[in-house]
């Protein structure tokens, strides 16, 4: 089968519904600064967390196709909701027809792999979007890989809108973060680690830390996903050779670029000049 996409080496694609994926991209670029990247945020349609399986799948597939059309051979879904609701279908159903040599990787599996070495009590909390929590993806994957670990999840439907609406430093954020941390911790007082199972949540890290008991570790996915990608590229030299090495990053958003760029610049600590794209 001949692919409709260019076979030339290209940047690595990183996708999220919005700003959250930047928390993953930032860590990936620390560990793998030599590669080129294209970041795509579907900010115009975020949050994904309350949307149906079908819609998250359709939006994510559009994003993957867009990144493939830009030449990317490897796409990271830097989004738990998309990883929970769309990744498997895309890997099993769509890739063989789009281009069996391209790859799409998610963030849930590397996080689950890492948690076994982190918890001591075997009681792990997860904060996620309603979609991620309802999908039970973490519960299922952790039960398979670490059957001794007990999972306590809590959905935080207000956290992504706080980030997307630039309210993460507001008193409103304090109210919702405290309420949700208390709700998770009330499920079990022996939880010793909490996974931030949504890539937007590191952008609320200071507030989450403030209301979480000090003895509880808060686990961000960025460093975990970055290490896992590094390992993947070592194990797959055929893919590594298809990733260009210029150290650049292009930013694309489905929102108005002038709305996206200022906040993205703060998150990644350098000036971002984003391009507006339309997904269909
Ligand atoms: N940042 C995404 C995640 O990791 C999606 C958040 C959303 O759009 O609701 O789940």
Q: What is the pLDDT of residue 93?
A: 97
pTM beyond 0.85, yes or no: yes
pLDDT band at residue 3, thresholds of 50, 70 and 90? Answer: confident
Q: Where are the beta strands (DSSP E) in the chain?
A: 12-16, 37-41, 74-77, 103-105, 123-128, 150-155, 193-196, 217-219, 249-253, 275-276
pLDDT digit string, tens, across residues 230-253: 999 999 999 999 999 999 999 999
- Token pair listed for 37: 């990247």
Mean pLDDT of 141-146: 98
Q: How far apart are CA 162 and CA 203, in angstroms?
A: 10
Q: What is the pLDDT of residue 1?
A: 64
The Å distance, Cα 230 to ligand 1 centre, comes to 23
Nearest partner of 10 among 247, 250, 248, 242, judged by Cα? 242
The Å distance, Cα 8 to ligand 1 centre, comes to 31
Task: Kindly give the number of the ligand 1 atom that is closest to the alpha carbon of 48.
Answer: 8
Residue whose CB lies within 8 A of the most ligand 1 atoms, among 198, 205, 224, for a mutation test: 198
Residues tagged active-site: 79, 198
Average pLDDT, the chain: 97
């Amino acid at each position: 089968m001949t692919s409709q996409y260019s076979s030339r080496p290209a940047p690595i694609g990183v996708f999220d519904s919005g700003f959250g994926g930047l928390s993953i991209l930032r860590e990936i670029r620390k560990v793998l600064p030599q590669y080129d990247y294209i970041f795509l945020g579907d900010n115009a349609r975020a949050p994904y967390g309350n949307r149906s399986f079908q819609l998250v799948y359709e939006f994510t597939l559009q994003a993957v196709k867009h990144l493939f059309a830009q030449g990317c051979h490897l796409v990271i879904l830097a989004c738990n909701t998309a990883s929970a609701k769309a990744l498997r279908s895309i890997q099993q159903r769509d890739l063989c027809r789009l281009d069996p040599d391209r790859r799409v990787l998610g963030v849930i599996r590397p996080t689950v792999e890492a948690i076994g070495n982190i918890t001591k009590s075997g009681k792990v909390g997860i904060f996620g979007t309603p979609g991620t929590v309802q999908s039970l993806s973490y519960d299922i994957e952790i039960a398979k890989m670490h059957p001794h670990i007990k999972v306590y999840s809590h959905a935080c439907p207000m956290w992504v809108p706080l980030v997307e609406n630039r309210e993460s430093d507001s008193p409103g954020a304090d109210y919702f973060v405290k309420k949700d941390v208390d709700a998770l911790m009330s499920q079990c007082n022996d939880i010793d680690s909490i996974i931030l199972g949504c890539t937007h949540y590191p952008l609320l890290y200071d507030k989450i830390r403030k209301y979480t008991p000090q003895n509880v570790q808060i686990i961000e996915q960025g460093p975990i996903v970055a290490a896992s990608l590094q390992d993947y590229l070592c194990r797959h030299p055929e893919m590594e050779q298809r990733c260009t090495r210029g150290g650049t990053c292009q930013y694309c958003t489905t929102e108005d670029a002038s709305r996206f760029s200022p906040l993205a610049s703060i998150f990644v600590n350098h000036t971002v000049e984003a391009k507006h794209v339309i997904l269909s």
